[in-house]
Every structure is written in C-alpha cells, then in structure tokens.
C-alpha cells in the first residue's frame, strides 16, 4: 500500500507544481537527465549482476522485441486508415512499440510483487532500452530525413550513452570483481528512480484538446495495455515460462508508453503532439489496467 501512496503523492506533486510558478517551464528535463544518466544506471548496477541467467528468462528478454514488432504490424494496418504521413507513421510506431518498463514498470512491480522481482524486470528493461537506442533511433532518423541512420552513427550513439555502457559493465565486471562495496551507493541512487520518474510524469501531464487524434490514441492504448500483454501471456504459456517470469513479463508488456519514446519523437520533429498524448494517456490508464492484469495473472498463472 505504501508504494501506491508514494506513486499518488509523487504524481500529484508534479501535476500541482506544474500549475504554479514555483518550477520553471521545462524543469522536468533536468529531472529526466538525472533519471536516465544516474538513477537508471544505478538500478542497472543493483539488479542486473544478481540475475541468474537461464532459458526461463527468454520471454522477459524478448518481450520488448515482440511488442516492437507487433506495433510495426499495427502501424502498417492503420496508417492508411488514419491518413498518417511519413513522420506521423514513424511517431506512432515508436510510441506504441516501446513500453515504460522502468519509470512506471519498476514502481508498479515493487507495489504488486515486491522489490526482489525487479531483477527480472531489469532484463526486460535493458532490452527495451536497446530497442529504443537502436531500432527506434533508426526509424526516427529515417523518417525525419535530418540525420544519418548508418551503422557507424548508431554505434557511436550507443558507445557515448552512459546507460548502455553501464549495461556492459554490469554484465561483464561481476565475473571478475565484487560489486559488494558499491552496493550501498547504487542502492541509494537507484531509490531515486521511482519517485522522480513519477514526479516527472506529473510535471509533464497535460491532456489538452485531442478530439482530432482520439482514434490513434485509442488504438495505441488498446495495443499497449491489452493486446501486447495478451500476446506475451500466450507465448509464455506456449514456452512454459516460470510463474514469476511470466507474471513480470506480462506486467511489463502492459505498461504505458516509454517517456523517452516521446522525447525521441520530439527531438526529430515526429508529430510531438500525438506522441505526447499517447504517452500520457497510456501511462495514466496503465495505473488502472495494471491492477486488472494483476488480478488476471493471480487467477490464471
């Protein structure tokens, strides 16, 4: 219960402070920098080295890729019906294909299942970041027509991005040195991830008028919150994934859109208005649908 209170307090604090003049416009950008460059890498160092790799982790690992492919298929089916131009088509694919597996996923998994299962969620989250950094970036670059999307450009982008480098460190170094001495530090830094992430969402939350884009938002929401977790659930049953691996994978697949996906679209001028509305609506609805998925999973898994 305390985790749900924390989520509500942090979201409302961000939302209400945005309505005042206490914080300058764009203050969320500084908070997002801390989350991406400090808190998220710290969480990676805390949870990823403790993962015991096995075939049971195949579904948690592949979940973001499966959701990404499903979003591509949905985009191809709907682009003509919704009269998407090239940039809007790319924007829709990116925000529909990337889930909020850390900013929202981590605190909700902690609330429903307990912090000890964040090690499974970390597997899904690292692959989500990889999809964002590689596949989504390529789609954005090509759609915008303003940047190269060749192998060298993407490789340099990854190698200069601290969270990606931390993934490599967390996977390799524990085989040679112990991370025990830095555990208190990374634990403290990782603890800032959830409250600041929810606070950032509250700061940015603004619906505005959306009648003209209601159908794309509805389609993205149905896919993100209902269809994609259903797909993952079916695959988990087919491959007989372990109980908690199944629950965490489906739960992560049911999260709203990754905030960084909206930021990426904004950077490349890919219909930022539609992107942000999908991000905010799916995140808002996921607080409700996650509870439904929890009940479903507790009943059938």
Q: What is the pLDDT of residue 70?
A: 97
Is the pLDDT at 14 greater than 80? The verdict is yes
Lowest mean pLDDT among 35-49, 52-66, 279-293: 35-49
**In whole angstroms, how far apart are CA 142 and each of 49, 83, 104, 150?**
35, 19, 29, 10
Scanning the structure block, which residue is given the tokens 């049911």? 254
Beta bridge partners of 99: 257
Instruction: Provide the pLDDT confidence category of residue 172 given band limits of 50, 70 and 90.
Output: confident
The CATH number of whichever domain residue 286 belongs to comes to 1.20.1530
Buried b (16+ CB within 10 A) or exposed e, 229-268: bebbbebbeeeebbeebbbbbbbbbbbbbbbbbbbbbeeb
Listed in sequence order, the residues at least 6 apart from 2 whose beta carbon sits closer than 8 Å to its beta carbon are none
Bigger pLDDT: 145 vs 100: 100
Q: What is the pLDDT of residue 84?
A: 95
Domain that holds residue 220: 2-300
Bigger pLDDT: 182 vs 225: 225
Mean pLDDT of the chain: 86
Listed in sequence order, the residues at least 6 apart from 198 whose beta carbon sits closer than 8 Å to its beta carbon are 6, 7, 10, 11, 14, 103, 104, 107
Is the pLDDT at 53 greater than 80? The verdict is no
Q: Give the number of domains in the chain.
A: 1
pLDDT digits (tens, 9 = 90+) for 262-295: 878 887 889 988 988 898 889 889 989 999 999 9
Q: What is the pLDDT of residue 142?
A: 85
Pull the structure tokens for residue 215: 């159908």
Lowest mean pLDDT among 46-55, 108-117, 149-158, 240-249: 149-158
Considering the entire predicted model, what is its pTM? 0.80
> Using CA atoms, how far apart are residues 143 and 257, in angstroms rounded to an integer?
20
Radius of gyration, CA atoms only, the chain: 18
CB 59 within 8 A of CB 235: yes
Pull the structure tokens for residue 162: 């601290």
**What is the helix (H) or strand (E) element at residue 124, kind and residue range?**
helix 118-131
Query: Across residues 108-134, what is the average pLDDT?
Result: 86
Query: Across residues 31-56, what is the average pLDDT?
Result: 80
DSSP string over 54-72: -GGGHHHHHHHHHHHHHHH
**In whole angstroms, how far apart are CA 73 and each of 67, 239, 253?**
10, 23, 16
Closest CA to 276 of 259, 252, 289, 288: 259
> Using CA atoms, how far apart are residues 114 and 225, in angstroms rounded to an integer?
21
CB 217 within 8 A of CB 281: yes
Task: State the first-to-last Cα distance of the chain, in angstroms, to the nearest integer.
Answer: 23
Q: What is the pLDDT of residue 83?
A: 93
């Amino acid at each position: 219960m305390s985790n749900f209170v924390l989520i509500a307090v942090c979201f409302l604090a961000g939302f209400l402070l945005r309505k005042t003049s206490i914080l300058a416009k764009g203050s969320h950008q500084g908070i997002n920098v801390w989350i991406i460059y400090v808190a998220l890498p710290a969480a990676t160092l805390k949870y990823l080295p403790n993962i015991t790799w096995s075939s049971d982790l195949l579904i948690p690992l592949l979940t973001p890729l499966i959701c990404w492919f499903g979003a591509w298929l949905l985009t191809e089916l709907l682009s003509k019906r919704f009269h998407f131009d090239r940039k809007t088509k790319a924007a829709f694919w990116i925000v529909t294909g990337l889930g909020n597996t850390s900013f929202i996923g981590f605190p909700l998994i902690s609330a429903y299942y307990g912090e000890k299962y964040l090690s499974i969620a970390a597997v899904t989250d690292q692959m989500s970041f990889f999809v964002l950094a590689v596949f989504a970036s390529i789609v954005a670059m090509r759609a915008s027509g303003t940047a190269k999307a060749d192998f060298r450009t993407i490789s340099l982008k990854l190698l200069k991005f601290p969270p990606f480098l931390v993934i490599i460190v967390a996977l390799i170094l524990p085989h040679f040195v112990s991370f025990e001495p830095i555990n208190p530090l990374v634990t403290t830094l990782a603890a800032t991830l959830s409250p600041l992430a929810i606070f950032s969402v509250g700061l940015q939350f603004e619906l505005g008028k959306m009648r003209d884009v209601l159908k794309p938002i509805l389609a993205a929401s149905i896919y993100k919150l209902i269809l994609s977790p259903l797909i993952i659930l079916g695959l988990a049953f087919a491959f007989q994934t372990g109980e908690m691996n199944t629950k965490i994978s489906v739960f992560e697949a049911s999260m709203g859109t990754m905030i960084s996906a909206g930021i990426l679209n904004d950077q490349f001028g890919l219909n930022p208005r539609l992107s942000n509305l999908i991000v905010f609506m799916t995140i808002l609805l996921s607080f409700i649908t996650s509870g439904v998925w929890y009940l479903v999973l507790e009943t059938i898994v």
